[in-house]
Amino acid sequence: MSDLVLSATQMEVKRERSAIGSLRLVQTACILVIALVIVSPLFMLLVASLKDDRFQILADMGSFRAFWVSNPTLSNFAEVGNLSGELAYGRYLLNSLFILACTVGFGLIVNSMAGFVLAWGSLRGRALILSVVIALYVIPQESIIMPLVIMVSRAGMTDTFAVQIVPWVASPLYIFLFYQFFAQLPKELFEAAEMDGASVFRIYRSIFLPLSLPALATVSILMGIEAWNQYLWPILVTQTDYARPIAVAIATFFGQDSIYWDRAMAASVLMMIPILALYLAFQRWFVSSFVGSAVKG
Amino acid sequence: MGKRLLQALIASAALGVVMTHAEAKTVIQVMHQGDPGWVTTYGDVAKRFEAANPDVDVELIYAPHDAYNEKFSAAVMSKQLPDVMELDAPFLANYVWSGYLQPIKPLIDQDILEDMTESNVAQGTYPIDKELYAVGLTDSSVVLYGNRKYLEAVGARIPKGVDDAWTREEFEGYLEKLSKLEGVKWPIDTFRGYGIKTEWITYAYGPILQSAGCDLIDRKTWKSVGTLDSDPCVNALTMMQKWVKNGWVVPQSSGTNQFFAEGHPAALAFGGHWIYAEAAASMKDDIVVMPLPKFGPKGVSPNGTWIWGITTASEHPDIAGKFVSFMLKDKQYRDYAKEDSAYPGLKSFAADSPLYNVGGPMAVAFEQASKTAIARPPHPAYPAITSAFMGAVDEIFNDGDVKAALTAAAEKIDEDIEENDGYPPFDDQQ
C-alpha cells in the first residue's frame, strides 16, 4: 500500500518536474527569440559596416545575406575615422564625446542638487516648485525649440559647445528622479547630520550623494543617450564642424540622390560604442534603480 | 619669472596681431547640402577661392538634405541667414516673396549669365518681376529607363526621341506584358523608396498630371480646387493607383535600386538623370534611355534642381557673387558634377558633357529640357502645394479614394493661399 502511495507521489513529482522543465524550455525559447529580435539588427549593422559595396548592402537587406559578409573590410572605418578635412568624422565623434561628458557631468550635479533641495531643503513653496517641475516635463522639446534657437542666437552662443550643453543640463525629469530617490531615504540620516552641525550642502555631498549611486547611474544613462542622440538641435544651432556632433555628420551619407550605406553603417557602429560602454559601466546600478523603484512603488 | 611673463606678453601680442589680421578678412557664409562627395568638393572650391582672394574667408555651413528647411527656418528666425545659399528651385518664389533673396544678375559674371540654358534661367527667375534670383551649374530631368533584354522579350518599341515617346496605351500594355515575363519581379520602379519627405513625388509625378491635361494648380487663377481634383488628374492618379494595386510598381519598402540591383528585378524605371551612372555601370549595354511617355495630349518632363542664391542679409553681396561665379567656372567642381552624371544647366557644361550631347546615351534627357520641361508652380505657396500633393499621393497609393484625396489636397492649398491673402501681388495676376 505504502509502495503504491510512494509510487503515486513519485509520479506526481515527476509530472511536476516535467511540467516545470517544459515551461522552462518554452521560457528559454521565448527569451532566445526576443534576444534574437533585439540583437539581429545590431549584428546586421556590424556585418554591413564590413562590406564595401553600398549597393550590395542594400540588395542584401531583404535576405539572410544581410547577416553574412564574405570579404570583410575595415575600409569604411578608415574612411570615417578622419580627424581633419571637410569630413572629419573622427573629429565629430570627439565632439560628441565632449558634449556627452559635459552634459552628463554638469547634469548630475545640477539635477541632483535641485532634487535634494526639493526633498530636504527648507525652501518656501517647495511643493509648488515641484509641481511646476513635473508640469514642465510634459512640454515636448520640439515645441520650444524655435524660441530657444532665437534665445541662444541672441546670447551669441551659436556654433559653440556650450549651446549644445547648457540648455539640456537641467531637466524636469531628472530633477524629479533625484527628488523621488532622496525623498525615500530615512529622515533620521538628515536629522542626525544636521544635529552634528553639517550644512545642507555637506549633508548632500557627504551623505546623500554617495547613497544615490542607482539614481546617478540611471540619470547618467538616460541623459547620456539623450545627449548622444541629439540631431535637430545641433543642426539648428551649429554652423561649422567646430562643435558638430557625429549624429549630424552621419546625415551627410544620406544625400539627395544617393545613400552611402557602407560608411553610414561604419559610422553608426562607431557611434554606438561609447553609449554602449556607458550603459555597461552603469548597468548594475541602472537595473537596481529600476527594480528598487518597482518594489517601492 | 620675469622672463616667463615677458614670453607670455610677446605671445599675447603675436596672437593679437594674428587675430587682428583674421578679423580684417571678409567672411562670407555659404549654406549648402549634399552627400560626402559634394561636401568635399565645396570645401575644395572654398579653399581655391580663398587662395585666389587672400582677403576673404569662406565659411561653409552644411545642413543635411532632410533637415535643410528646418535649418533655413532657424537661420531666418535667428537672423543668421548666410551670404550664399543653396536652394531647391521650386522654393525660389517663396523665398523671394518672403524677401530672403536678392536679384543676382548684377552680382554674377556676365559670361555665366550668357551661358545659362533656358531651363536654368526659368528655374532661377521670379515670375512677378522677371528678375533672376539664382543660378546653377546644373538642372535636372526624369526619363524612362528600360532593360533592353526585357523590352526585346515583350517586343516593345524603343522610341528614337522625345517626339516618338510611348503613348499611355503602349506604356500600360508593356507594363502588363512585363508583369508576366519570367525574371521580372516588378514591371516598373517609380522610386517610391524616396519616400514622402523628399520632393520626388511632386517633382516626378507632377508631370504625369500635366501630361494627362491638368496640373497641381491653375497657373492663371492660382486656385487648386477645380484643377488638382479635375477629371484628368483623378484619371491619372487612378491609373497610377492601379499600377500599385496590380503589384507592377516596386514598393516603398524595397529601396531605390531595384532597376539595377543584382538580378535586375525591375524592368523599367521612372528615374532621375542622376541614377544613370550607377545603372549603366551595373547594366552595361542593357540600359535603354527613353523619353517619358505621353499620358495625354502632350509629353511633359520635370526640371529644376538645387541652385545658388544670394540672400538679402548679405553684407558683401559683391564678394558672394564673385564666389558663386568662381564656383560655377571651377574645373574640379565641374569634373565632379560630370562624374555624378549631372544634368547641364550651362551651355559650356553641356558641350563638355558627352553624356548629354547629341548621340550621347542621355541625349533624350537633354532633348526633353527644350521640348517638354515644365517647372513646378512658381508660386510662394509652393511649400503648401508640394506638401498637400505628397500627402494625397501617399494616401492614394495606400488604397485611398482618389477624388477625395485630391479634393482635400486642393482645398488645403487654396486655404493656404487664402490665409496669406493670395500672396500679393500673385493675387493680381489672374
The DSSP code sequence of A18-86 is HHHHHHHHHHHHHHHHHHHHHHHHHHHHHHHHT---HHHHHHHTTSGGGG--SS---HHHHHHT-SSST
- Domain boundaries B142-302+377-429, CATH class: alpha beta
**Across B282-302, average pLDDT:** 95
The residue in chain A having the minimum alpha-carbon distance to the alpha carbon of residue B191 is A257
In degrees and rounded to multiples of 5, residue A122 shows phi and psi of -100, 20
Q: Under a CB-based contact definition with an 8 Å cutoff, are residues B204 and B256 in contact?
A: no
| Residue spans in chain B of domains classed CATH 3.40.190.10 | 21-139+304-353, 142-302+377-429
Q: Report pLDDT for A4.
A: 58
Q: How far is CA A245 from CA A98, B103, B263, in A?
A: 9, 36, 39
Say if the Cβ atoms of A260 and B77 lie within 8 Å.
Answer: no
A22 CB within 8 Å of a chain B CB: no
* Gap from A238 CA to chain B (nearest CA, Å): 8
B262 CB within 8 Å of a chain A CB: yes
From chain A, pick out residues whose CB is under 8 angstroms from the CB of B306.
Answer: 256
Out of B36, B198, B260, the one facing A260 most closely (by C-beta) is B36
Q: How far is CA B337 from CA B41, B45, B323, B329, B369, in A?
A: 9, 13, 18, 12, 18
The residue in chain B having the minimum alpha-carbon distance to the alpha carbon of residue A145 is B74
Predicted ipTM > 0.90: no
B339 CB within 8 Å of a chain A CB: no
Out of A231, A237, A252, the one facing B39 most closely (by C-beta) is A252
A160 CB within 8 Å of a chain B CB: no
Kind of pairing between the strands at B56-62 and B26-32: parallel
**Across B257-278, average pLDDT:** 90
From chain A, pick out residues whose CB is under 8 angstroms from the CB of B269.
Answer: none
Q: What is the pLDDT of residues A255-289, one digit of tens each?
A: 777 778 888 999 899 888 888 888 888 887 777 76
A235 CB within 8 Å of a chain B CB: yes
Say if the Cβ atoms of A256 and B33 lie within 8 Å.
Answer: yes
Average pLDDT, chain B: 92
Whether the ω angle into residue B425 lies within 30 degrees of 0, i.e. cis, is yes
Say if the Cβ atoms of B62 and A260 lie within 8 Å.
Answer: no
Q: How sure is the predictor about B53, in pLDDT bands with cuts at 50, 70 and 90?
A: very high
Give the position of cell 482645398: B411
Out of B71, B77, B254, the one facing A235 most closely (by C-beta) is B71
B255 CB within 8 Å of a chain A CB: yes
Say if the Cβ atoms of A58 and B43 lie within 8 Å.
Answer: no
B265 CB within 8 Å of a chain A CB: no
What share of chain B in percent tops pLDDT 70? 94
The residue in chain A having the minimum alpha-carbon distance to the alpha carbon of residue B276 is A257
Amino acid residing at B269: A
Say if the Cβ atoms of A87 and B40 lie within 8 Å.
Answer: yes
Out of A154, A158, A248, the one facing B64 most closely (by C-beta) is A248
Q: How sure is the predictor about A291, in pLDDT bands with cuts at 50, 70 and 90?
A: low
Q: Report pLDDT for A2.
A: 56
**Across A100-113, average pLDDT:** 96
B386 CB within 8 Å of a chain A CB: no
Out of B78, B255, B274, the one facing A58 most closely (by C-beta) is B255
Q: Under a CB-based contact definition with an 8 Å cutoff, are residues B141 and B343 in contact?
A: yes
Q: How sure is the predictor about B2, in pLDDT bands with cuts at 50, 70 and 90?
A: very low
Of B131, B247, B140, residue with least CA distance to B190: B247
The residue in chain B having the minimum alpha-carbon distance to the alpha carbon of residue A247 is B64
Query: d(Cα A260, Cα A274) in Å, to the nearest integer?
Result: 23
Q: Report pLDDT for B298.
A: 94
- Per-residue burial over B50-60, b = 16 or more CB atoms within 10 Å of its CB, e = otherwise: eeebeebebeb
Out of A62, A237, A240, the one facing B59 most closely (by C-beta) is A240
Query: The domain B21-139+304-353: what is its CATH number?
Result: 3.40.190.10
How many Cβ pairs within 8 Å bridge chains A and B?
100
* B11 has pLDDT over 70: no
H or E element at residue B28: strand B26-32
Q: What is the pLDDT of residues A128-156, one digit of tens each?
A: 999 999 898 888 877 888 899 999 999 99
Query: d(Cα A215, Cα A189) in Å, to the nearest integer?
Result: 18
- Full-model pTM: 0.82
Output the CA angle B71-B72-B73, nearest 5 degrees.
Answer: 90
Q: Under a CB-based contact definition with an 8 Å cutoff, are residues A106 and A169 in contact?
A: yes
* Gap from B39 CA to chain A (nearest CA, Å): 7
Strand runs (DSSP E) across B45-105, as ranges?
56-62, 84-88
From chain B, pick out residues whose CB is under 8 angstroms from the CB of A65.
Answer: none
Which residues on neighbouring strands pair with residue A30, listed in sequence order?
none
Q: Under a CB-based contact definition with an 8 Å cutoff, are residues B176 and B255 in contact?
A: no
Q: What is the pLDDT of residues B209-234, one digit of tens each?
A: 999 999 999 999 999 999 999 999 99
List strands edge to edge, sheet with B142-147.
B186-189, B266-272, B142-147, B287-290
Q: Report pLDDT for A289.
A: 65
In B190-209, the residues whose Cβ lies within 8 Å of chain A are: 198
Q: Report pLDDT for A78.
A: 85
**Which residues, 6 or more positions from A82, have their beta carbon under 8 angstroms from its beta carbon?**
A88, A89, A90, A91
Q: Report pLDDT for B262.
A: 80
Q: Report pLDDT for B18.
A: 47
From chain A, pick out residues whose CB is under 8 angstroms from the CB of B275.
Answer: 257
Amino acid residing at A177: L
Q: What is the pLDDT of residues B146-163, one digit of tens each?
A: 999 999 999 999 999 999
Q: Under a CB-based contact definition with an 8 Å cutoff, are residues B355 and B276 in contact?
A: yes
Q: How sure is the predictor about B65, in pLDDT bands with cuts at 50, 70 and 90?
A: confident
From chain B, pick out residues whose CB is under 8 angstroms from the CB of A251.
Answer: 64-67
The residue in chain B having the minimum alpha-carbon distance to the alpha carbon of residue A238 is B61
Say if the Cβ atoms of A56 and B262 lie within 8 Å.
Answer: yes
B254 CB within 8 Å of a chain A CB: yes
A141 CB within 8 Å of a chain B CB: no
Q: Which three cell numbers stand for residue A227?
A: 545627449
Q: Which three cell numbers stand for residue B52?
A: 585666389
H or E element at residue B138: strand B138-139
B64 CB within 8 Å of a chain A CB: yes
Say if the Cβ atoms of B43 and A150 lie within 8 Å.
Answer: no
Query: d(Cα A29, Cα A26) in Å, to the nearest integer?
Result: 5
From chain B, pick out residues whose CB is under 8 angstroms from the CB of A240.
Answer: 59-61
From chain A, pick out residues whose CB is under 8 angstroms from the CB of B67.
Answer: 231-232, 235, 251
